[in-house]
A = this chain, B = another copy of it.
Amino acid sequence: MPKDTFFKIAEVKRERLLRQAARMFAEKGLNQTDMAGLAERAGISKGSIYTYFDSKESLYLYVCRDGLERSRKAIYGTMDPAWDIYRQVDHIFRQGARFVLDHSEYLILYINVASAGMERFSEQISREVEHYTADHLKRLLRRDMAAGIVRNDLDVNMTAFMINSLYIVFITSLISSHFKIRMREYLEIEDDFDQDRVDGVIARTTTMIHHMLHPAVAAS
């Protein structure tokens, strides 16, 4: 969606624009982000942005796609496909949390696309984003069912849906103002979330997932 010129400029410039755009869009939302302010923060002129992108929305769309691509790489790029589902899920939660704490802007963008008035973006982005993850989880479930380490009476689609739901709410709780408050209310946390707490929540969550999926859960 960017114009050709965007890929001809110096990489640092390109990266700076993308990063600042992601940050501003995440901080203020699409409508409240003004192109003049963005240009200034990116150290270029308003006019230049329009030589790279057709419109603010076009830039927004690209920034979202780019962010989703980055987060996918951060999580799936470091994962060994040979691991069993439990280890992979654990990895997803851990790497996801790490990525989100480093680059909250991308997750915020993802959440915003689920907001009112954003239908035109979700139509373009949502399916391609979710398909990758959905597909991956489903394959994994089937593979490990066959391997006998996942109960074979589970509804694969539904299970994948639930695992990913827990994942989304969990990482969202690390950054969205509302969901952060919500998590604190549930988990009765007063002070800031430190690494230990995050690890604890992840461990508890993956344990529960293990418990749901494993054929011979019994005691634990």
Contacts and interface: CB of A to CB of B under 8 A. Distances in A.
A165 B161 contact: no
Interface residues of A, number: 62
Contacts of A218: 217-218
B113 A108 contact: no
A126 interface: yes
Contact of A115 (B112, B155, B212): B112
A187 B162 CA distance: 11
Contacts of A32: 31, 117
B134 A185 contact: yes
Interface string A188-220: 100000000000010011001001100001101
Interface stretch (A9-17, A72-80, A95-103, A166-174): A166-174
Interface in A28-51: 28-29, 31-32
Given A134-B186, A205-B162, A115 B29 contact: yes
A53 interface: no
This protein's copies in its complex: 4
B162 A208 contact: yes
Contact of A212 (B31, B170, B172, B208): B208
Interface in A142-177: 151, 153, 155, 157-162, 164-166, 168-170, 172, 176-177
A220 to B, nearest CB: 6
Given A185-B131, A186-B157, A187-B157, A116 B29 contact: yes
A117 B23 CA distance: 12
A10 to B, nearest CB: 21
A67 B91 CA distance: 38
Interface of A: 25-29, 31-32, 108-109, 111-119, 122-123, 125-127, 130-131, 134, 151, 153, 155, 157-162, 164-166, 168-170, 172, 176-179, 181-183, 185-188, 201, 204-205, 208, 211-212, 217-218, 220
10 contacts: A28-B117, A29-B116, A109-B116, A114-B179, A126-B182, A134-B185, A161-B183, A165-B169, A166-B166, A218-B218
